[in-house]
Structure 1
Amino acid sequence: MLKFLLIVNKQGHLRLSKFWCHDKTVNKTVLASDVIRNCLCRDEKQCSFLDYKDFKIIYRRYATLYFLIGADKDENELAVYEFIHNFVEVLNKYFKKVCELDVMYGLERVHLILDEMVSDGEAIEMNQSFALAPVQVLDAFGHRR
């Protein structure tokens, strides 16, 4: 089960965060800053999987953005790694080569796409066309990007 997704830039500035863990004892701000610090300090030749407290952290870098996912210890790392890639492909399809500014200024669209792909921490939609359908309907009715 996925617990959180963070999108950060190379400088460590958080651009998007989505949490699916409902534990009141988890301080999300401290958790996010620790995870970001641990991932950004790693060499690019190091593995993209690491253990952090009760989570497995799986991350990928695309241009200037890092996509970090925290998952349960029993989650398949390669499946999550592939999910990140699929999510980025969906964003690329929608934004025509997604960049940091697209995430910042199209935050509601990114959240909508993510909500189509993940429900309560479980990946439910991997088909790119189906994941984009609600956003395309909004765009068709004139809602601004």
Structure 2
Amino acid sequence: MVSDSSFVFQIHFVLLISRQGKVRLTKWYSPYSQKERTKVIRELGGVILNRGPKLCNFVDWRGFKVVYKRYASLYFCMCIDQDDNELEVLEIIHHYVEILDRYFGSVSEVKLDFSWAYYILDELLLAGELQESSKKTVARLIAAQDSLVETAKEQASSISNIIAQATK
């Protein structure tokens, strides 16, 4: 995925914003206070949502570069340093969307379970750096997590049934 393994860039944050301006996912890899986060979301949401569809997917912002791409009704945005490679970040966004597509069937605001979208993002990025470029590996890890969640639900249901029987 990353063309030069000796070059590592830092993603400062990831935002998923709906066309209506609602924030659906935020992941912060650089320290921002809650007040700063709110201001960043408001500012960038306004900038990105008001850009024409024929403009490029890179925005210079506060000495950084924000790379974004719209899929269905969601804007996927990542903030990087000014001298980092925008095309690699677009590729990471597309990679993330492909993994979400595999898991949810299609990327749309209605179909996404955002708790799982966070989990998938955590499998892909670690501390703002690309962690796993293999879609198969990410899919395998997600399937294993699904299995653990299902097992935990079954065990909780069994325990609830045992308690219900005991209290009758």
Q: Same fold (TM over 0.5)?
A: yes
Task: Find 1:127's aligned residue among 134, 142, 150.
Answer: 134
Higher mean C-alpha deviation, range 126-135 or range 27-36: 126-135
| Structure 2, unaligned runs of 5 or more | 1-9, 154-168
- Write the letter of the residue equivalent to 2:31: H
Task: Find 2:75's aligned residue among 66, 79, 90.
Answer: 66
Task: Find 2:26's aligned residue among 17, 21, 34.
Answer: 17
- In structure 2, the partner of 1:34 is 43
Task: Find 2:100's aligned residue among 64, 87, 91.
Answer: 91
Q: In 2, Cα distance between the equivalents of 1:38 and 1:23?
A: 19
Q: In 2, Cα distance between the equivalents of 1:138 and 1:22?
A: 29
Tell me the TM-score normalized by structure 1: 0.90
Alpha carbons of structure 1 residues 52 and 132: separation in structure 2 relative to 1, 3 Å = same
Cα distance, 1:73 vs. partner?
Answer: 1.4
- In structure 1, the partner of 2:12 is 3
Give the secondary structure class of the aligned counterpart of 2:65.
strand
Task: Find 1:43's aligned residue among 49, 52, 55.
Answer: 52
Cα distance, 1:36 vs. partner?
Answer: 1.0
For each residue in 1:57-97, what CA deviation from the matched residue of structure 2 results, as whole angstroms up to 9, or x when unmatched? 10001111110111111210000011101100000000011
Cα distance, 1:134 vs. partner?
Answer: 2.5
Is the Cα contact below 8 Å between 2:71 and 2:107 reproduced in 1?
no
- Write the letter of the residue equivalent to 1:140: S
Give the secondary structure class of the aligned counterpart of 1:43.
coil
Two-structure CA RMSD over aligned residues (Å): 1.7
Share of identical aligned residues, percent? 33
- In structure 1, the partner of 2:66 is 57
- Write the letter of the residue equivalent to 1:91: L
Cα distance, 1:24 vs. partner?
Answer: 4.7
